[in-house]
Structure 1
Amino acid sequence: MYKIAVQLYTVREEMKENPVGTLEKVAELGYKGVEFAGFFDIPAEKMKGHLERLGLTAVASHTPLEALENQFDEVIRYNKTIGNRYLVCPWSELKDKESLQEIGLRLKTLIPKVKAEGMELLYHNHDHELKILDDNFLLDKLVEVCDGELGLEVDTFWVYRGGVNPRDYMLKHEKHIPFVHVKDGTDEGLNALGEGKAPVAQVLETVEELGLEWIIVENDNPYPNGLEDIERSMVYLQNK
């Protein structure tokens, strides 16, 4: 059975106001892991202590390419301290052959450096990477440019919004996927799990089939706030 983490971007407003209290609430709701999107000026050793006290695992960290390129040692040191081994590129302007080569080269340069530190570099997609370039998805071509060494944090909702079946895409890239983002929504926007039209149940079945250790809950636009949104998502998952 998979374990449930949350992307803390979902509770970014709460994290800005009270990061430690928000982590405590996340743990109270039943989440076992967190994926970071910034560390809110908390020193690494203190963050490690909070995670250990709350029984939370640092599953991954969204880390902009610029930070990896310009502050590599600092990024690696912080993430190693808190026990995280997955660094995730959260966004890029991947849209055509030119950007494919530019972004691909940047990632390809970083992958061996990250691996040398005992860590993995992943890419988190949105729907624009599911566009076709020549004969394949842009996201697939990005993996090819990186010689198959780039890991994927497949965001199953954005795959769905890109017109692709998330299950099929997960199975296609099984060897590249350590975990996935699970989110729900419609053409109009995002929802807590179970409140939209995305094939969340099928995604969870595929996670089980692939034997993935973690799922990561995320909602870019939580309602009415981050904590209430992730509570509803947890209730949905606990009733599956």
Structure 2
Amino acid sequence: MEYAAELFPVLSEYNNDSLGTLSKLKDMGYRGIEMFGVSKFSADELKQIIDQSGLVLTGYQLPWREMQASTLTSTINYQQRLGNKHLIIDALGGPWESGHKVTENTVEMWKKHTKRINEINKELIDCGMDLTYHTHAYDYGEPIENTVPSLEILLKYIDDSVGIEVDTGNCIEGGQSPVVYINKLKNRVQFVHCKPYSKLLRYDVPLGSIKDENKWSDIKKAAECSGTDWLVVEPESTKLGNIFDVMNDSLKELIKYQ
């Protein structure tokens, strides 16, 4: 397994100085970068920036709207020019109302999403690419219509070839164990989002501190046994100081765990 940085924590810095931000992450010791959001750059421009930084593009989180019938072809073309084979659905449902409104959060709606996910997945496989779903707290802990959480509906109906990006902090926030889910989803967890979390302080906790509820040694062991390729560091603190310092400290601390 290798260590990648998630772009989201440093998105503001990246928008101001894209190459400089990625280069700083590389200098910290990160090997890869997981991109996030619709880029302001052409595929050729973004590829050049990533290449110049020395980082490897591990995957790309994209909004659901970029994977619909009217947009998927252009999305695939962009990602192919970029040299990326790993597309990640950044969210479905939730407070962002991605794919459906809060009032439409039903079992049938999630079943409808699974049908579309399978369609996207098939088209990506035909292009030599793959699809992953990024998990949030509600995916683990909010029963849909008093049945099961959305992740369990997804796992029941989506193809086994669709990956699941376990977000450790989101998983704990949803009342579940990331170790259990990584083990449960063996061979489907290509990426693990390493996110410090505390029920008291939520995301404003340093990775590996006594208040961080992640069991990092167990998480890393489970990820290794499950065939995970990348541990993607994504602290979401807004109160721990300079985000580059937080990203640097998080990586250094995570590396310590065996």
Matches within 5 A, 1:32-43: 32-38=31-37, 40-43=39-42
Question: 2:148, 2:93 → 1: CA distance?
Answer: 17
Matches within 5 A, 1:160-199: 160-187=172-199, 188-190=201-203, 191-195=205-209, 196-199=212-215
Question: 1:30, 1:78 → 2: CA distance?
Answer: 28
Q: Does 1:65 align with 2:77?
A: no
Which residue of structure 1 aligns with residue 247 of structure 2? 230
Identify the structure with bigger relative contact order (alpha carbons < 8 Å, sequence gap 6+): 1
SS of aligned partner of 1:121: strand
Which deviates the most, 9-18 or 193-202?
A: 193-202
Note the C-alpha offset of 1:148.
Answer: 2.9
Partner deviation per Cα, 1:99-126 (whole Å, 9 max, x = no partner) = 3123222212211111111111111111
Match of 1:116 among 112, 126, 131: 126
The answer for unaligned runs of 5 or more in structure 1 is none
TM-score (norm 2): 0.84
Report the number of matched residues.
239
Match of 1:206 among 222, 231, 239: 222
Q: Does 1:239 align with 2:256?
A: yes
CA contact (8 A) 1:184 1:200 kept: no
Which residue of structure 2 aligns with residue 128 of structure 1? 138
Change (3 A) 1:176 1:210: closer
Amino acid paired to 1:198: N
CA contact (8 A) 1:156 1:182 kept: yes
CA contact (8 A) 2:166 2:189 kept: yes
Which deviates the most, 74-83 or 173-182?
A: 74-83
Partner deviation per Cα, 1:158-208 (whole Å, 9 max, x = no partner) = 112222221111111113211211111111321342132222232112122
Match of 1:138 among 145, 150, 171: 150
Q: Percent identity?
A: 24
Change (3 A) 1:137 1:176: farther
Note the C-alpha offset of 1:136.
Answer: 5.0
Question: 1:202, 1:102 → 2: CA distance?
Answer: 35
Taking only aligned residues, the RMSD between alpha carbons, in angstroms, comes to: 2.0
Match of 1:156 among 155, 161, 168: 168
Note the C-alpha offset of 1:25.
Answer: 0.6
Which residue of structure 2 aligns with residue 82 of structure 1? 82
Question: 1:154, 1:47 → 2: CA distance?
Answer: 26
Amino acid paired to 1:180: V
CA contact (8 A) 2:5 2:32 kept: yes
Question: 2:60, 2:158 → 1: CA distance?
Answer: 20
TM-score (norm 1): 0.90
Partner deviation per Cα, 1:48-96 (whole Å, 9 max, x = no partner) = 2232233211111111111111322222122222322111111111753
SS of aligned partner of 1:180: strand
Question: 1:139, 1:39 → 2: CA distance?
Answer: 25
Runs of 4+ in 1 over 6 A off after TM superposition: none
Question: 2:140, 2:31 → 1: CA distance?
Answer: 30
The answer for unaligned runs of 5 or more in structure 2 is 95-104
Q: Does 1:107 align with 2:117?
A: yes
Question: 1:44, 1:161 → 2: CA distance?
Answer: 35
SS of aligned partner of 1:128: helix
CA contact (8 A) 1:178 1:213 kept: yes
CA contact (8 A) 2:187 2:226 kept: no
